[in-house]
Chain A
Amino acid sequence: MRKKLVAILVALSLVLVVVVGACAPKAAPAQSVSDFYAKNVVTLITPFAPGGGTDYGARTFAGFWSDATGGAMIVKNMTAGSGMEGINFLYKAKPDGLTLGIQVHTNSLMWWLYNDPALQNEYNKFQFIGYFLNESFVFATAPHLKDIKSLADLQKKEGLKIAVTTPVTNMNINGAMVIELFNLKGAKLIPGYRGTADIGVSLGRGEIDATVNVAASVRDQVPQMANPPLVTLDSKRTQEWPDTPAIPELVQLSGSQKELFDFFSNWYGGKTLIAPPGTPADKISYLSEAFNKVLANPGYQAQAKLRWRAADVPIQGKDFARIVDNLWKTPEDFKTRVKQMVERNTKQ
C-alpha cells in the first residue's frame, strides 16, 4: 500500500514538473538586432526643457526614428542640475540599447573642465552613436556699434562689454578666447545672463556691446538686437554666415594662441547621440546605421532646416569617440590655464 502511494506521488510530481515546465516562459528565440528595434521602444533622454533648441532637435530626430527602424522612440526630458541629472541617469542606465541620450557636447566638456562635483559620469566612456546639428559660435556686436565693421575697428574700441551666461558655459570660454586672440583692450565678460533671450534684450538696449553665441541664435537677433557677426569662432566659415570670416583669416596665431585655438576647435558646438557604457557592439553598430538613415531622411532634413539653416555635417560615432578621447588627454595644467583665462577676462 505504502509503495503504491509513493509511486503515485512520484508520478504526480513528474507530471507537475512537466506541466510547470511546459507553462514556464520559454527563453526568447535569438532575434536579430533589427527585429529588436522594430519591436521595442527606445527612450531618448534629453537633459533640456521642452521647447528649447535641443529638445526640438531630439523631437525632430525621434519623429523620423520609426521610418529608419520600424520601432518607436519617445523623448524624456530630465532637466535637473542643468541637465546633469539626465546624463548621470543615462550613464547608469541598463546598457540594453533601449535608453539613449542626446547631449550638447560642450556641456559635458564644461563639466569635465571645471571638475563639477556633482558629475557622476565620465563622458568619454559613453558609447557615441553620432554627432549632429553642429553649430559654430560667432561674435556679434550690438546695434549701437554699427560702425564697427572689421577687426581693426573692433580693436580700436576699448572697454567692450561682452555678455555671457553663467561662468561654466562654452560662451564664457569663447568670449575669453576672443578677447585674448584679438587683443581687445579693456574688454570684459559680463556673466549672469540667464540665456540668449536676456542677452538679446540687453544688446537691444545698448547696455552691452557684444556677445558670442551660436550662429542660429544670432540670426534670430539680427537686426534689432545684434549686427551681423564679425567673426566665426571656428577654423572655417559657417554656412549660416558665409560672409563672416573665421578666426584664422583674421589673425596670425602665436604658439600658445594656436594651442588654445586648436583645443577649442575640437569642442564642436553640436549634439551627440550617446548610449550608456557597456551597450553591446552589435546594437551600437545598428544604432549608428539608424542614425545615418534618420539624418538622410528628406523629411528630417526639412524639419531640422527650420531651425538650423546650415546643412548638417554629421560625424560618425566611432570617429567622434576618437575626438573625445584626444580631448581627455588634455593635461590638467592646460585646463587650469583655460579657467584662469576666463577668470581674468571676467568683470568681477
Chain B
Amino acid sequence: MSVLDAFGQALSTFGNAGMLLAVIGGILVGVLVGVIPGINGLTAISMLLPFTFHMKPETALPLIIAIQTVQFTGGAITTILLNMPGEEVNAATLMDGFPMTQKGQAGRALGAAFASAAMGNIVTVVVSLALISLIVPLLFSIRTADMVFVVLLGLLCIAALGQGSMTKGLISGGLGLLIATIGTDPMRAIPRFTFGSTYLYEGIGLLPLVLGLFAIPEMIALAASGGTIARTGVVIKGMRDVWEGARDVLRHWTVWLRSCVIGYIVGILPGIGSTSATFVAYGQAKATSKHPEKYGTGTVEGVIAPESASHASLAGDLTTTLALGIPGSSGMIFVLAAMWMVGLVPGPDMLTKHLPLSLSLLLVIFVAGIIGAGICFLVAPSLARIAFIPGSVLAPLVLVLVFVGVFTYHQDFTDIVATLICGVVGLVMKRFGYSRPAMLLGWVLGGIQEQYLFLALKLDGPLFFMRPISLSLILIIVLIFAYGPVKKLFGRRRGLTRA
C-alpha cells in the first residue's frame, strides 16, 4: 500500500463517530488535567487504561494520544499563571511565562504558548508523515556514545538558567544532579542515599519534586504577600492580548523553528524525554539571542522556545513508539500498553500492514493540537484573570489540589511527606535566589547521563567520543556556548576600530 493511499484511509477514519468522540473526549480531559495543578496527564491516562480493554483500536489509541497532546498545552496555563508546571515539560516555560504574568502580560504569554504548541504539532506531524520511513534508520545511526553528548547539551543549558547569577544556577543544577543519585545505582544496583527506605529506591518521585519545588513556595509567597500574582494594575485586554502572543510566534519564527527541530529530534531519540528538549530549546534561544539578559525577566521568546519544543517532540516520540515499540516518554508507555490491550504489536507491521492506523494516530496529534489550542485560546482571557485573585483565596485552593493530586498518583502518604520536604527546599531556593528550573533539569538529566556515560565507556572504551556524530555534537556545544562571548568580543573590536 502506498503512503498516499494509507494517508487517504487515515483521513477517512475521522469520519468515524467513535473516533471523533474519543479525540474530543481526550482533548477535554487533556485540557482539564493540564489546568488543574497536581493532577497530571499520566494520572488521567493510567485511570483510563483499564477501560481501553473494551474499546476498539481506532477509539482507544486516539483517546490516549489526544490526552497526551493536549495535556502539555493545558499545562502551560498553570505554569504561566501560577508559576507551577502543569506537567514536567512545562517547567522551562515558567522562567519567562510567570514573569510575564507578573508584568500583566498573562494573556500574551498564554497566546504565545498556545500558538507555539499548535504550530509545533502541525509542522512536526507533517514532517513525520513525510519522513516516516527514514526515522528508524536515523534512530539506529545514533549510538549510546552520541547520546552522552545529546544529554550533555541539555545539561550545559543549566548555565543558561541561572537568573542573574550563573554561579547560583550551576549550584542549583549540581544539587539536581546530586538528588538524581538518590536511588539505585544503575550499574551495580546498590542503593544510594536511600537511608534504608524502600520509597527512595527509585529516587525522588516526579510529582513530589515538581510540585514541592514550585507549587508550595509560590503559594506560600503569594499568601504571605497578601496580594495577587499580577503586580501591576494593568487592564486586561482580553483576546487582543492573547492574539498578540500568537503573532509573537510569527515575529520570532526562527526561535520557534529551531525549538521545533530540537524537540522533534529529542522526541525521536528514546530515553531523553521532552523535558530536556524544552530546556535545550530555551538555552539555545537565550544563547543566540541579541538580548540574552532579558531572558528570565518576562520575554515572550522564553515562552515560545520551550512550548514549541515540548509539542514538537510528540510526533517523533509517537513514531518511535509505533515503529519500534520503544516509548520515548512515560506517556508513550501507556500508548504501548493500550496497543497490547487492543491486540496491536508495535514494529514493522505498524508501518506496513497497519500504516493507515499509524498515520491516523499522527493526525490525531495534528487535530487535537489545533482544537486543544483553540479551546485554550477561547478560555485564555478568562483564565488570565486568575492573576488578580487574592492570594488568601487562591493559595489554599491550589495547595489542596496539589496534595490531592500527589496522593492520587500512587495513593502513598509518603509522597505527601516528600512533597513537603521538596517544598521546604524550594522555599529556601526561592528565598536565596537559586534557580529551581536548573535543579529540575539536573535531576531529569543526571540519571540519564550517568547511564549513557557508563554504558558508552563499557561499550566503546574511553575514546567513545571519536565518532563523527559525537564530534559534531561537541562542535555544536562549543559553538552554542561560544557564540555569545565571541560576538561580544568582535563587537568590542569593531567599536575600537571605529573609534
Contact = CB atoms under 8 A, between A and B. Distances in A.
Interface of A: 49-52, 55-56, 59-60, 62-63, 75-82, 84-85, 88, 117-118, 120, 161, 166-169, 190-194, 197-198, 200-202, 204-208, 219-221, 223-225, 303, 306-307, 347
Contacts of B325: 197, 200, 220-221
A190 B144 CA distance: 13
B343 A306 contact: yes
Contacts of B324: 200-201, 204, 224-225
Given A80-B412, A208-B459, A166 B184 contact: yes
B208 to A, nearest CB: 12
B198 A80 contact: yes
Nearest to A50: B46
B412 A78 contact: yes
A220 B340 CA distance: 11
Contacts of B197: 118
A197 B324 CA distance: 9
Contacts of B191: 117-118
A224 B136 contact: yes
Contacts of B347: 220, 224
B143 interface: yes
A80 B188 contact: no
A269 to B, nearest CB: 18
Given A191-B187, A224-B136, A207 B201 contact: no
Given A51-B49, A63-B53, A192-B187, A118 B341 contact: no
A11 to B, nearest CB: 51
Contacts of A62: 50
Which among A62, A81, A198 has the highest number of chain B CB atoms within 10 Å? A81
Query: Which secondary structure dominates where chain B touches chain A?
Result: helix
Contact of B198 (A49, A84, A307): A84
Contacts, number: 141
A219 B347 CA distance: 10
B201 A82 contact: yes
B202 A79 contact: yes
Contacts of A60: 53
Contacts of B202: 79-82
Nearest to A143: B140
Contacts of B458: 190, 192, 347
Given A192-B458, A207-B143, A220-B345, A50 B189 contact: no
B459 A56 contact: no
A204 B141 CA distance: 9
Contacts of B140: 201, 204-206
Contacts of B184: 82, 166
Closest 10 CB pairs of A and B: A81-B198, A81-B201, A51-B337, A50-B46, A166-B189, A168-B189, A51-B333, A85-B198, A197-B326, A306-B343
Interface string B176-210: 00000000111111010010111101100000000
A112 B325 CA distance: 32
Contact of B199 (A50, A80, A169, A224): A80
9 contacts: A59-B49, A59-B53, A84-B201, A167-B187, A192-B455, A201-B140, A221-B325, A224-B347, A306-B342
Nearest to A217: B325
A307 B459 contact: no
Given A51-B337, A191-B187, A220 B346 contact: yes
Interface of B: 46, 49-50, 53, 136, 139-144, 184-189, 191, 194, 196-199, 201-202, 270-271, 324-327, 333-334, 336-337, 340-343, 345-348, 410-412, 414, 451, 454-455, 458-460
Contact of B454 (A84, A118, A192, A306): A192
A167 B412 contact: no
Contacts of A75: 50
Contact of A207 (B188, B340, B454, B459): B459
Contacts of B141: 205
A50 B140 CA distance: 28
Which among A60, A78, A161, A192 has the highest number of chain B CB atoms within 10 Å? A192
A81 B410 contact: no
Contacts of A220: 325, 345-347
B49 A161 contact: no
Contacts of B341: 56, 303, 306
Contact of B201 (A51, A118, A224): A118
Contacts of B49: 50-51, 59
A66 B5 CA distance: 44
A198 B147 CA distance: 12
Given A75-B50, A78-B410, 15 more contacts: A51-B49, A77-B46, A77-B410, A80-B198, A80-B414, A81-B201, A85-B201, A166-B186, A166-B188, A167-B188, A192-B186, A194-B271, A201-B271, A206-B140, A306-B343
A173 to B, nearest CB: 13
